Structure 1
Amino acid sequence: MKPPPPPPAAAAIHHQIHHLSTLLITPTNSNPITPLLNTHHPSLSLLTSHSSYDAVSSSLPTLSNWLYDSFHSSDQNLKLFVISLIPIISKTYLSSPPLSVFGIEPILLAISNSSKSADQNGPISIPDLSQQSIYHIPFSVSDNTQKVFKFLEPDIDPHWSVSPNKRAEVVGSVLGCYYKHISVIPEWSKIDFCKFVSGWAGQDCGCKFEFGSKCDGNSDNLNSGKDKIELPWEILQPVLRILGHCLLGPINGNEVKDAASNAVRCLYDRVSHDLVPSAILATRGLIQLDMRRREGVKKPDIDLVSN
């Protein structure tokens, strides 16, 4: 007897992942997506596969349509997989000339608009001005006398091209979406993000060493400045939040924390030269918290040795 066919939703997910395997620029015998099709939950296997993440990252320009469709999928794991690629998508977008990002912009706009829709403020009750004061308004007001307004933040128009002054706003909104889901994002995505931030900072003047050794882990990042970009507050704010999680989150491994430790010091270099007071305070605070955390980790080891 043949097994029953999968439900329509599962079949659609299977088809979407199979389509991805045909789009990857890899030899057929080394395609990391193909084995995932035989698992019970292909989309979850895709989300937790480091090799699949690397393969998609390296083939990013050819996968724009697939990423756009997958973000609008009803399957949460497929959507999270696209969100886990936000660091490399943002890096490609910010470091590329405007004429070469047509395929990437729709993905970023879709994520940005989705994030804004989720954050949209709910109804706000406006006091009835016919009353003497707000203290005279009864607790239960009929629908006829209560005026309800809703503040609507206009979405970014999904035009074929985003004006240069809107790019930072778009990326900042997308990074905010990344931060909201960061607790379920795989570690390799967080490590990539920290490395990209180190490159975006583009500073390696030595200011970061005023706090002593930058981190106990290995760092392969001495900035050459080639990846340096403008860092307005729209981008800095979500970047600092994400780095704070990577640096201090209890679920993160040492490799994530070491990468974040280096990134926040590079960012401190940058904002110190750019004279951004709020970012200077934030990066200094993160560096000091990181130092205290590392001292707290070392202390029990010292006590064990002395005993």
Structure 2
Amino acid sequence: MENQTSSAIAGPGSARSEDDAASASASASNPNPMQAWWEGIARARSRIHALSAIVGSSPSLDSLADSDRPAKALLDSPDVSSAVSSALSAPLSGAGDNPLCQWLYETFQTSDSDLHLVVLRYIPLLAGTYLSRVVSASREEPLAGFEAVLLSLYAAETKARAGKPLLVNVPDLSYPSLYHAPRNPPPTANPKLGVTPPTPPPVVGVLSPPLEPQNAVKSTKRAGIVAVALDWYYRKISLMPAASKVEFCEYLIGWAGQSCPCVHDLDRDDATSLRLTTFSEEEQVDSECSEPAVEEELGKMSIKDGPSCNGSIVENKLSVVIAGAVISVSNVRGARIPLPWELVQPILRILGHCLLAPLNPQEVRDAASIAIRCLYARATHDLFPQVIIPTRSLIQLDRSTRLAAMAVASSNSNVNTPTKPKKPEILLVSK
């Protein structure tokens, strides 16, 4: 695997077009904004033509190359997204000589930040397919192409951090809350001794240890490498299209692998009927979650198996009841995978954005609502307190947000409801 990954990394690097290197050197020597803008347009059009040779030429791709902002159009095009998703989901898409993986690798190696967004847009699909295939016991196809793209992001992050860890200041727990802690605490002086004791240093926590350079994706380093790629995605998530966020949530539901009623633990008061519409035939409900009412509902469920991602991964439709409303996701992808803490950290950040960002469409919030409940059920079964606490908090925030929106909608409907005008009162006066 190491040789295949190394050759996959060296192959696309040697196959990079000479016009990219020439344009980069020219832009460095001549910092003309107009020339740099034109070189970015030419570079994006070159990458679009290279992509059309891989997924097939179409009028939509030709129109993207002729637009004023080809990189932005390539990022937001639903036709290109469908074509690339189908190609990445093909059985042999992860091979080292796969042209689409080479295209993603070469596109990320360019110095164009807009083209970097195009590569990051497909990170959920690439990471989801890769991790789901790695855990498959019957896997025979190589995955060096996927690993080359992931290692390119990991190498860029390793170079940017320069061997330093990511640190975070931990609040002082001696104060009742964050609002009671002074930002700049004054030193406490002792006038009798004439000595001013030093201010205690702030508590610093390590958010991420220093990254070590990696030439291949080893089994012990796989979660960390994928976590770095997902962290790249999170930093640019506000610029990602809604379809990419929905894909991430769909894969996370498959990664969690929980099709038991535990996903409804925090919503039982709002649900009038506990209904888990479909689930995989290969996954069984845990005996500890079995209740008479639940078993009766499970007997009424219909099972619908969809197409497979690589021959062993089943795609399903999943529906849950949240805040009195039925929320469903139409496509559950991926397979159950190990979820260590280093991989869960960027997952929680991405889910927090998908749940709480005000500009996200409703489909993104619905998919994230189901995904966070599946992750909570997985953490409950694994007895993982580091995941139970944040997922439970996100679920409570999601429920309160939905209930508040329902209250506002009902109040607005009552105000706008036309009322029948009353007849004027007629007073009868006797003479």
> Considering only aligned residues, what root-mean-square deviation do their CA atoms show, in Å?
2.6
What is the aligned partner in structure 2 of residue 270 from structure 1?
378
In structure 2, the CA distance between the partners of 1:285 and 1:154, relative to structure 1 (3 Å rule), is closer
| Paired amino acid for 2:49 | H
- TM-superposed CA distance for 1:8, in Å, is 4.0
Rg comparison, structure with higher value: 2
Q: Secondary structure at the match of 1:165?
A: coil
- TM-superposed CA distance for 1:9, in Å, is 4.1
What is the aligned partner in structure 2 of residue 219 from structure 1?
328
- Deviation string, structure 1 residues 240-273 (Cα, Å, up to 9, x no partner): 1100100001110110000000000011111100
Partner Cα distance (2:330, 2:339) in 1: 19
- TM-superposed CA distance for 1:58, in Å, is 1.5
Please show how residues 145-184 of structure 1 align to structure 2 within 5 Å.
Answer: 153-159=210-216, 162-184=217-239
TM-score, structure 1 normalization:
0.81
What is the aligned partner in structure 2 of residue 131 from structure 1?
none
| Paired amino acid for 2:349 | R
Aligned residues of 2:354 and 2:365 also touching (Cα < 8 A): yes
What is the aligned partner in structure 2 of residue 260 from structure 1?
368
- TM-superposed CA distance for 1:118, in Å, is 3.0
In structure 2, the CA distance between the partners of 1:119 and 1:186, relative to structure 1 (3 Å rule), is farther
* Structure 2 residue runs without a partner (length 5+): 1-34, 166-196, 199-208, 272-320, 416-431
- Deviation string, structure 1 residues 110-146 (Cα, Å, up to 9, x no partner): 1122223334449xxxxxxxxxxx98xxxxxxxxxxx
- Deviation string, structure 1 residues 174-227 (Cα, Å, up to 9, x no partner): 111111111111111000000100010000111121222443464146979x71
Partner Cα distance (1:38, 1:222) in 2: 34
What is the aligned partner in structure 1 of residue 147 from structure 2?
105
Aligned residues of 2:101 and 2:149 also touching (Cα < 8 A): yes
Aligned residues of 1:204 and 1:223 also touching (Cα < 8 A): no
Partner Cα distance (2:108, 2:39) in 1: 18
| Paired amino acid for 2:104 | L
Q: Secondary structure at the match of 2:210?
A: coil
Partner Cα distance (1:206, 1:221) in 2: 19
What is the aligned partner in structure 2 of residue 65 from structure 1?
102
Partner Cα distance (1:31, 1:95) in 2: 34
TM-score, structure 2 normalization:
0.59
Q: 2:113 aligns with which of 76, 79, 82?
A: 76
Aligned residues of 2:154 and 2:229 also touching (Cα < 8 A): yes
Indicate yes or no: 2:297 matched with 1:228.
Answer: no
- TM-superposed CA distance for 1:10, in Å, is 2.9
Aligned length: 271
Q: 2:245 aligns with which of 170, 187, 190?
A: 190
Partner Cα distance (1:104, 1:196) in 2: 16
What is the aligned partner in structure 1 of residue 51 from structure 2?
20
In structure 2, the CA distance between the partners of 1:281 and 1:37, relative to structure 1 (3 Å rule), is same
Indicate yes or no: 2:388 matched with 1:280.
Answer: yes
Indicate yes or no: 2:150 matched with 1:42.
Answer: no
What is the aligned partner in structure 1 of residue 26 from structure 2?
none
In structure 2, the CA distance between the partners of 1:298 and 1:23, relative to structure 1 (3 Å rule), is same
Partner Cα distance (1:200, 1:221) in 2: 16
Aligned residues of 1:217 and 1:255 also touching (Cα < 8 A): no
Aligned residues of 1:106 and 1:158 also touching (Cα < 8 A): no
Structure 1 or 2: larger helix share? 1
Q: Secondary structure at the match of 2:215?
A: coil
In structure 2, the CA distance between the partners of 1:156 and 1:219, relative to structure 1 (3 Å rule), is farther
| Paired amino acid for 1:178 | Y
Partner Cα distance (2:262, 2:68) in 1: 51
Please show how residues 81-100 of structure 1 align to structure 2 within 5 Å.
Answer: 81-97=118-134, 100=142
What is the aligned partner in structure 1 of residue 357 from structure 2?
249
Partner Cα distance (2:386, 2:212) in 1: 28
Structure 1 or 2: larger strand share? 2
Please show how residues 128-139 of structure 1 align to structure 2 within 5 Å.
Answer: none
- TM-superposed CA distance for 1:19, in Å, is 0.8
- TM-superposed CA distance for 1:18, in Å, is 0.5
| Paired amino acid for 1:100 | P
| Paired amino acid for 2:386 | S
In structure 2, the CA distance between the partners of 1:257 and 1:119, relative to structure 1 (3 Å rule), is farther
Partner Cα distance (1:293, 1:181) in 2: 24
- Deviation string, structure 1 residues 78-105 (Cα, Å, up to 9, x no partner): 1101001110110121122486211111
Indicate yes or no: 2:400 matched with 1:292.
Answer: yes
